[in-house]
Amino acid sequence: MKTLLVATTNPGKLAEIQEFLSDLPVRLVSLKDVGITAHVEETGKTFEENALLKATHYSKDSGLPTIADDGGLEIDALGGEPGVNSHRWIHKDREDKDEELIQHALFRLKDVPMENRGAQLHLVIAFATPKGKTYTSEGSIRGVIPFKDAPYRREGFPYRSLLYLPELKKFYNHDELTQEENTTYNHRKIAVEKLKPVILKELT
């Protein structure tokens, strides 16, 4: 059985990707599993550039085919902010804490009327092989940011406590959505599904 490296240190992301790829005949390992602690500087100007930077770096470092993603929140009224700065939106010298990001977004939007509070969570997943082949796919989920955040928190996913899905009348939050809704609407799953045929072709 071939091995696929999932290049993330976010336990929530890792759990989701493991779930979404559980039907593939591949063995999934994490950065911790292969003893990699080095951090890749995310210098790209887009989600795609950052995802490719991480996937290619860790694939070369580990000698394993690797997937990595990059994504964040894009708020219409703020011209797409925070975008690629979603984890360093407030403090440029360190990653912001989940609660800081939630409160900062609400503060920035405090005078924006409801009809202008559209936003989306958008991500790109990159798949890289040790031979230098690369592939990407993307997924997104649109909604609005209400004046008050969700009462639920899931570590590593602050913006899911902000994005409200009017068609479901629920926040895009793992604890609020049903299992079926989580499966149907998850933007990471959408991106992973697009990559599955390529992963299968390369690893089987």
* Catalytic residue ranges: 70
Q: Which two tokens stand for residue 64?
A: 């394993």
Q: How many CA atoms lie less than 13 Å away from 105 in the CB half-sphere?
A: 36
- CB distance 109 to 145 below 8 Å: yes
- CB distance 38 to 53 below 8 Å: no
How distant, in Å, are the alpha carbons of 4, 25, 30, 64 from that of 204? 11, 8, 20, 14
Closest by CA position to 124, among listed 204, 42, 187, 172: 187
